[in-house]
Amino acid sequence: MKLPSWPGKKQQQLEKEIDSHLEMAKRDRVDRGETAQQAEAAARREFGNVALVQRTTREQWGWVWLEDCLQDLRYAARTMRRNAGLTLVAVLTLILGIGANTAIFSLVDGVLLRPLSFPRPDRLVFLTDYYPKGAFVVMRDQNLTMDLIANTDSTEFNLTGGDVPVRLTGTSVSANWFRVLGVQAAMGRTFQDGEDQPGKNGLVILSHSLWEQRYGSDPNIIGRSILLEGLSRQVVGVMAADFRYPSPKTELWVPLDLDPRQVGDYWGSSYMPITGRLHPQTTLQQANTDLTQQRPKVLAAFAWRMPNDSWIMGSVIPLQEAIVGGLRTSLLTLLGAVGLLLLIACANVANLLLARAAVRQKEIALRSALGASRWRIIRQLVSESVLMSMLGGALGLFAARYGLSLLKATLPADMPRLENVAVDIRVLLFTALLSILTGILFGLVPATGSSKVDLTEALKTGGDRTGRSGNNRLSRTLVIGEVAISVVLVIAAGLLVKSLWNLSNANPGFRAEYIVTARITPNPSFCKEAGRCQTFYNDLLARVRALPEVNDAAAVNGLPLGGSFATVPSDVEGYAVPAGAHVPMLMERVTTPDYLRVMGIPLLQGRAFTEADTAESAQRVALISKGTAERFWPGKNPIGAHFKPRWMREWWTIVGVVGDVHEHSMTRNLEDWLDGEIYTPYGPHAINDSGPEEPPVALTLVIRSSQAPKRFAGDLQSVVSQLKGDVPVTQIETLQGWLADAVAGPRSTASLFSVFAALALVLGAVGVYGVISYSVAQRTREIGIRMALGARRQEVLYLIVGHGAALAFAGVLIGLAGAFLLTRLMSSLLYGVGAADPETYFGVALLLVVVAIAASYLPARRAMRVDPVVALRYE
Amino acid sequence: MANRYQNRIELLQGTLDLLILQTLRWGPQHGYGISQAIRLNSGDILQVDTGSLYPALHRLERQKWIAADWKLSENKQRVRVYRLTAAGKKRLLSERSRWAQLSDAIAGVLEPVKKESEA
C-alpha cells in the first residue's frame, strides 16, 4: 500500500532533498565507524516521520488546503474506479434521490417561490372576494391605499371572419390594468385610462401566439379590426410571447364595459376579482383598514338598497398568495416526500460505505500509523462520498430534466404558473448544494466510525474476522430508519390513492356514462331578437336527436363540476336574512325539459319541467336541489313556495325538488359563497344572471350515445354549421372525461406519491438485503460452527430471516408512529379517509414486513447452504 | 541517548529563522549541513528537529530571504543548497538586533532575581 504521492516537480524535489539528507547523515555515521545497516536505521530514526516532515513542509508552500482537496478527490476517483460495482449502485441510488428532489424543487420554485414576473411584484395584492363592476368603480376611485384593477375570470369569445369560427379564451380588464401591473405591449400599445367606458371600448389586445398562429405574425395587424362575439374590435396591441395572465390559456384582452345604465349587469352580475398595487409606503394592514372603511360607501352606491350587514368585504392578501396559495400544501407535501426519499437513498449509500469501510480497515489503520490525523482520514473518506454524490447530482440533473417533462404532463394543465417551471440556474445551485450536503451526510456517518481505529487490533492478521460491532450497530440503525421512512411514504401514498378512489367513485349526483358533451356558443347579438335563439336550439336538438348515433339529447347552460353557471341574488319567501349574513346567492341551471332525464338526476318531489313551461305565457316555475330545500325550508314542503331575483318584481314558484349534484367539485356540491341551487326552464322565463328575463346565449348539449365522441364530432359540427355558419362547437368530449378532469389534481398527487412510495419500497428492500447479506458474509464462520454443532439448515434460515424481520419490525413500529404524526399535515388533501386510517396503516405495516422478509430470504438461503467444513477453514 | 535529549533545548519560536540565516552567512549550505552546523556550533545543545527545519527552510525561501539551487556535493550527490539573498542579509541584521534586545531584556529580568536567591 503506497500513499498517493504528491504530483509534480516540487514534491519530487522535496523527496530528493530528504533522501540526500538521510544519505549524508548515514555517511557521517559510517565515517564514525557504524555499520551501514546501523547507520541507515539511526539516520532514519533521527530524521523522524518522513511523511509528516513532507506534509508540514508542503504546508509552507501555500494553497495546501486546496491542493489537499484535489489530492483527496483524485484519490477518491481512483477508489471509486476500483470499486466500480459499489460505485454504480451508489450513484444510481443518488441519481434517483437527487433527481427526484431536483425535479420537485424546480416545480416548487417555479410555482410557489419565484416572485411574479411583474415589476415590484411584492406590492401587488388581491382582494379575497368578487365584486360587481359598480363596486369596482367606486372602490377604484376612492381607495387611498392602492391602485385597483379588475379583470374577469377567463371568458370565452367567438372569433369569426375566418374559415372556421373559433372559440378563444380571453379576459375583460379595466383600462388601467396593464399600466398598474406594469406591463407593456410588444407591439402597439396597451389600454389607456378611460377606454373601459361604453363607446370607447371597441378594442382588443392579442397574445403573441394568437397573432402568430391566426394572423401569420402580420406586422400590420395594429389598427386592423377583428370580429369578436359578432362585434368589431380594433387591434391596438400584441403582447410579448411570455405574457399569459391571468390564465396560461389567455389569448386576448378586451376592455371592460363599465356602463352604469346597464343596471343589472353593472351592479348585479359579472362579479370579478379585484387586484391592487399598494401605494409606496403603504402596508397590507393599512390597505385592509382602508377597505373596511370604504365598505359603507360602496354599499350606499348600489342601485338597490343593500342591507348594511348583507355583504362582507374581502380582505387584502398578497397576489402571489392568492394565485398559488391553494397549491402550497400539495407541493410542500411532495417536496417532503422526495426529501424523505433522499434520506432513504442516503441511508442506503451510507450502508454500502460502512460495509466497505470494514474491508478498508487495514488501509485506514496504515494511513493513521503513517501519521495521518483523524481529521485527515475523515476528510479523505468524506471527499469520496462527496465526489460520489456530485456525480449522482450531475446525472440526477439530467434525470430531473427528463422527469420534469413527465411531471408537467402528469400535473393538471390548468395549474397556475406551470409555464415558469424549468431547470435553470437556481435549480442548478440547489442541486449542487444538495449534492454536497448529501455527500457529507452519507459520508460522515461511516467516516467518523471508521476513523476511530485501534491500530494494533486492525493491523493484526485476521483481526477483521469478527467484523466491527460498532459499524454493525450503525448499519442496523440505518436500515431501521430506512424502513421507517418507507413506511411513512407508503402510508402517505396509500392514503392519497384511497382518497382518489373515494373521489372517483363518489356519486356526483348524475350518471356520466354514455354522455357526450358539446358547447354551442352563438354570438350574443344573434340572440338579441326574442325567440331567435330558442328556435335555433330547438331545431338543433331535434336534428341532433335524429342523428343515428344519438339516443337522447338535452341542453343546459353549463356542466356540473365546474362548468359555467348563472348566479341570482334572491329574496326567498319566508326566509329572513340573519344579521351579518348576505342575501341568498342562488346558482342557476337553465335546462331544457329533458335535462334531468338525460343526466339521470333524480326528481325527488313535485314535477319536472314540461314543454309548456318554456312558453312566453307560462307561469314562472323553478326546481330546487335537495340541499337548497333543506337549507331554506327545513322540515317543510317547499313545493309552491316562491323566490325572486332581488331586482325584479315577479316571483318564481317552486314546482319540484331534485337530487343534489356535485356542481362545484367532487368534494363540494356548491362553491361556499353560494347558498342554493335552482333550475329554470330554457325559455323566456330563464333568468340571465342578474340581467333581465331572457334565455342564456351559450348552451352545452348533453347527448346520450353509446358511440365515442370522435365518431360523430363531424356530424355534430355539420349539423350546427347547416343551421348557422358562424357558431363554434367546442368541448366535444365524454362526460366521464370531464369527470376525470375534475379529479386531475388529486390524481396527479396520488400518482406522484405512488411512484415515490414504490421507489422508497425498492430502496428499503435493497437496504435490508444489503445489511443481511453483509451480516451473513460476516457470520459465515459462526454459521459453520452452529451447523457443525448440529443446527439444522431450517434453523439457520429462520435465524437469518428472523434477523431481517426483526429489523423490519422495529422500522415499521417507528414508521407507524412517524406516519401518525406526519400524515396529519396532509389531511386537507384527503377525502373520505382519515389521516390515521387503520386499514392503510395495517396493510402497509404488513407489506413492509413481507418485503423485508423477502429481501432477507435470498441471503438466508445462501447461509443455509454454508458447508461447515469450508466455513471453518475460511479465514 | 536519554541524556542527549535532556540536554536539548527547545528553540524559541522564531529563533530558528535567526539561526538558519546566521549559519548561511558563512556560505551556502544544504539542510543536513545547516542542522549539523547548528548542533556543532551550540556544542551539541541545540538539536534542530527536521520537522521544524525543512518547513522553516521552505518558508524562508518563499519569503525570498534565502534561495535554493541544486548542486553536486563532494560525494557526487545532488543536494539542495541554500544561500542568503540580499533581502535575507537585511533580515538577518534586524533579527540579530532584535535578538540582542531580547537577550538584554531577559538578562535584565534575570539578574535581580539571581541576586535575591543568592542572598
pLDDT tens digits, A204-252: 999 999 999 999 999 999 999 999 988 899 999 999 998 988 888 899 9
User: What is the rounded distance in angstroms from the CA atom of residue A57 to the CA atom of residue A52?
Assistant: 8
Residue A6 has pLDDT above 50, yes or no: no
* Nearest residue, CB atoms, A25 vs list B32, B62, B75: B32
Residue B4 has pLDDT above 70, yes or no: no
Compute the nearest-CA separation of B116 from chain A (Å). 42
Which residues on A lie below 8 Å from B31 (Cβ)?
17, 21
User: Are the CB atoms for B57 and B28 separated by under 8 Å?
Assistant: no
Compute the nearest-CA separation of A54 from chain B (Å). 8
Record the pTM. Answer: 0.74
> Residue A240's pLDDT is what?
94
Q: Do B50 and A48 touch (CB under 8 A)?
A: yes
Give residue-wise pLDDT tens across range A738-751.
998 888 888 988 99
**Bond into A246 cis (ω within 30):** yes
Exposure string over A791-823, b if 16+ CB within 10 A, otherwise e: eeeeebbebbbebbbebbbbbbebbbebbeebb
User: What is the rounded distance in angstroms from the CA atom of residue A243 to the CA atom of residue A187?
Assistant: 13
User: Are the CB atoms for A3 and A78 separated by under 8 Å?
Assistant: no
What percentage of chain A carries pLDDT values higher than 90? 42
C-alpha dihedral sign at A450, A454, A455, A457: negative
* Nearest residue, CB atoms, A48 vs list B31, B51, B58: B51
Which residues on B lie below 8 Å from A52 (Cβ)?
51
Compute the nearest-CA separation of A20 from chain B (Å). 6
* Nearest residue, CB atoms, B79 vs list A20, A56, A60: A20
* Nearest residue, CB atoms, B51 vs list A21, A25, A56: A56
Which residues on B lie below 8 Å from A21 (Cβ)?
30-32, 50
Q: What is the DSSP string of B7-72?
A: H--PPPTTHHHHHHHHHHTTS-EEHHHHHHHHHHHTTT-----HHHHHHHHHHHHHTTSEEEEEEE
Which of A360-369, A514-523, B99-108 bottoms out in mean pLDDT, i.e. has the lowest? A360-369
Contacts of A629 by beta carbon, 8 Å cutoff, 6+ apart:
A605, A638, A657
Q: How do A585-591 and A676-681 pair as beta strands?
A: parallel
User: Are the CB atoms for A360 and A82 separated by under 8 Å?
Assistant: no
> Residue A171's pLDDT is what?
95
Which of A129-133, A193-197, A411-415 bottoms out in mean pLDDT, i.e. has the lowest? A411-415
User: What is the rounded distance in angstroms from the CA atom of residue A14 to the CA atom of residue B70?
Assistant: 12
Chain B residues whose C-beta sits inside 8 Å of any chain A C-beta: 30-33, 36, 49-51, 54-55, 57-59, 62, 70, 73, 75, 77-80
Probe site for chain A from B4, B32, B34, B38 (most A CB atoms < 10 A): B32
Q: Do A47 and B73 touch (CB under 8 A)?
A: no
Compute the nearest-CA separation of B55 from chain A (Å). 4
Give residue-wise pLDDT tens across range A804-840.
899 999 999 999 999 999 998 888 889 889 899 999 9
* Nearest residue, CB atoms, B62 vs list A13, A27, A60: A60
Q: Do A60 and B55 touch (CB under 8 A)?
A: yes
Of residues A378 and A516, more confidence is placed in A516
Residue A871 has pLDDT above 80, yes or no: no
Which residues on B lie below 8 Å from A20 (Cβ)?
30, 32, 73, 77-80
Residue A424 has pLDDT above 90, yes or no: no
Residue A731 region by backbone torsions, left for phi larger than 0, else alpha for psi between -120 and 50, else beta:
left
| Mean predicted confidence (pLDDT) in A124-139 | 90
Q: With bands split at pLDDT 50, 70 and 90, how would you rate the model's confidence at A691?
A: low
Q: Do B58 and A61 touch (CB under 8 A)?
A: yes
For residue A182, how far is the Cα from the chain centroid? 29
Q: In this structure, what DSSP letter does residue A60 have? A: G
End-to-end CA distance of chain A: 21
Rg (CA), chain B: 17
Q: How many CB atoms lie within 10 A of CB A593?
A: 17
Residue A386: strand, helix, or coil: helix
Exposure string over A521-543, b if 16+ CB within 10 A, otherwise e: bbbeebbeeeeebbebbbebbeb
Compute the nearest-CA separation of B8 from chain A (Å). 14
Q: Do B78 and A16 touch (CB under 8 A)?
A: yes
Find, among A557, A570, A585, A517, the residue nearest to A683 by Cα.
Answer: A557
Give residue-wise pLDDT tens across range A754-798.
999 999 999 888 888 888 888 888 788 888 888 888 888 888 888
Compute the nearest-CA separation of B95 from chain A (Å). 21
Q: Do A20 and B73 touch (CB under 8 A)?
A: yes
Probe site for chain A from B58, B63, B65, B72 (most A CB atoms < 10 A): B58
Is the CB of A25 inside 8 Å of chain B's CB atoms? yes
Q: With bands split at pLDDT 50, 70 and 90, how would you rate the model's confidence at A567?
A: confident
Q: Do B31 and A60 touch (CB under 8 A)?
A: no
Q: Do B51 and A53 touch (CB under 8 A)?
A: yes
Q: Do B55 and A59 touch (CB under 8 A)?
A: yes
> Across the A/B interface, how many CB contacts are shorter than 8 Å?
58
What percentage of chain A carries pLDDT values higher than 70? 93
User: Are the CB atoms for A788 and A796 separated by under 8 Å?
Assistant: no
Cross-sheet strand order for the sheet of B66-72:
B29-30, B78-84, B66-72
Element (H, E) at A807: helix A793-822
| Mean predicted confidence (pLDDT) in A25-36 | 88
User: What is the rounded distance in angstroms from the CA atom of residue B110 to the CA atom of residue A557?
Assistant: 109
User: Are the CB atoms for A720 and A520 separated by under 8 Å?
Assistant: yes
Contacts of A548 by beta carbon, 8 Å cutoff, 6+ apart:
none
Contacts of B3 by beta carbon, 8 Å cutoff, 6+ apart:
none
Q: Do B55 and A20 touch (CB under 8 A)?
A: no
Exposure string over A711-731, b if 16+ CB within 10 A, otherwise e: ebeebbbebbeebeebbbbbb
> Residue A80's pLDDT is what?
83
Which of A219-228, A360-369, A549-558, A700-709 bottoms out in mean pLDDT, i.e. has the lowest? A360-369
User: What is the rounded distance in angstroms from the CA atom of residue A284 to the CA atom of residue A315?
Assistant: 10
The enclosing domain of B72 has a CATH number of 1.10.10.10
User: Are the CB atoms for A447 and A381 separated by under 8 Å?
Assistant: yes
Contacts of A246 by beta carbon, 8 Å cutoff, 6+ apart:
A151, A153, A154, A171
Which residues on A lie below 8 Å from B57 (Cβ)?
57
Beta bridge partners of A268: none
Q: Which amino acid is at A196?
A: D
Residue A509 has pLDDT above 90, yes or no: yes
Residue A329 has pLDDT above 60, yes or no: yes
* Nearest residue, CB atoms, B32 vs list A16, A21, A61: A21
User: Are the CB atoms for A675 and A586 separated by under 8 Å?
Assistant: yes
Which residues on A lie below 8 Å from B73 (Cβ)?
20, 24
Which residues on A lie below 8 Å from B38 (Cβ)?
none
Which of A45-59, A124-138, B75-89 bottoms out in mean pLDDT, i.e. has the lowest? A45-59
Furthest C-alpha separation in chain A = 137
Is the CB of A473 inside 8 Å of chain B's CB atoms? no
Is the CB of A193 inside 8 Å of chain B's CB atoms? no
For residue A327, how far is the Cα from the chain centroid? 7
Q: How many CA atoms are closer than 13 Å to the CA of A260, on its beta-carbon side?
A: 9
- Please state the domain count of chain B: 1
Residue A14 has pLDDT above 70, yes or no: yes
Q: With bands split at pLDDT 50, 70 and 90, how would you rate the model's confidence at B114?
A: low
> Residue A47's pLDDT is what?
86
* Nearest residue, CB atoms, A17 vs list B59, B75, B80: B80
Helices in A83-132 by DSSP H: which ranges?
Answer: 84-108
For residue A670, how far is the Cα from the chain centroid? 24
> Which residue bears the cell 410557489?
A112
Q: Do A20 and B30 touch (CB under 8 A)?
A: yes
> Which residue bears the cell 314535477?
A607
Q: What is the DSSP string of A239-268?
A: --TT---S-TT--EEEE----TTSHIIIII
Q: Which residue of A has its CA nearest to B59?
A: A60
Give residue-wise pLDDT tens across range A383-404.
888 999 999 999 999 999 998 9
Q: How many residues does chain A have?
A: 875
Element (H, E) at A237: strand A231-238
Q: How many residues does chain B have?
A: 119
Give residue-wise pLDDT tens across range A473-482.
888 888 999 9
Q: With bands split at pLDDT 50, 70 and 90, how would you rate the model's confidence at A602?
A: very high
Which residues on A lie below 8 Å from B59 (Cβ)?
60
Q: Which residue of A has its CA nearest to B60?
A: A60
Contacts of A498 by beta carbon, 8 Å cutoff, 6+ apart:
A832, A833, A837, A840
Which residues on B lie below 8 Å from A47 (Cβ)?
50
Q: At what angle do helices A36-47 and A9-31 cross, to 10 degrees?
A: 130
Structural domain that includes position B95: 2-118
User: Are the CB atoms for B32 and B57 separated by under 8 Å?
Assistant: no
User: What is the rounded distance in angstroms from the CA atom of residue A587 to the CA atom of residue A561?
Assistant: 13
| CA distances from residue A619 to A224, A268, A591, A625, A644 in whole angstroms, order as listed | 48, 24, 16, 20, 13
End-to-end CA distance of chain B: 37
Is the CB of A530 inside 8 Å of chain B's CB atoms? no
| pLDDT, averaged across chain A | 87
Give residue-wise pLDDT tens across range B10-69.
556 568 888 999 999 988 999 999 988 988 888 888 888 888 888 889 888 888 889 988
Compute the nearest-CA separation of A57 from chain B (Å). 4
> Which residue bears the cell 494494533?
A456
Which of A449-453, A485-489, A608-612 bottoms out in mean pLDDT, i.e. has the lowest? A449-453
Q: With bands split at pLDDT 50, 70 and 90, how would you rate the model's confidence at A415?
A: confident
> Residue A153's pLDDT is what?
86
Of residues A726 and A450, more confidence is placed in A726
Q: With bands split at pLDDT 50, 70 and 90, how would you rate the model's confidence at A690?
A: low
Q: With bands split at pLDDT 50, 70 and 90, how would you rate the model's confidence at A496?
A: very high
Q: In this structure, what DSSP letter does residue A152 have? A: P
* Nearest residue, CB atoms, A53 vs list B50, B75, B77: B50
| Mean predicted confidence (pLDDT) in A532-537 | 92
Q: Do A62 and B62 touch (CB under 8 A)?
A: yes
Is the CB of A28 inside 8 Å of chain B's CB atoms? yes
Compute the nearest-CA separation of A21 from chain B (Å). 5
Which of A269-273, A658-662, B110-114 bottoms out in mean pLDDT, i.e. has the lowest? B110-114
| CA distances from residue A283 to A122, A287, A508, A792 in whole angstroms, order as listed | 11, 6, 44, 79
Q: Which of A42-46, A295-299, A352-356, A478-482 has the highest mean pLDDT?
A: A478-482
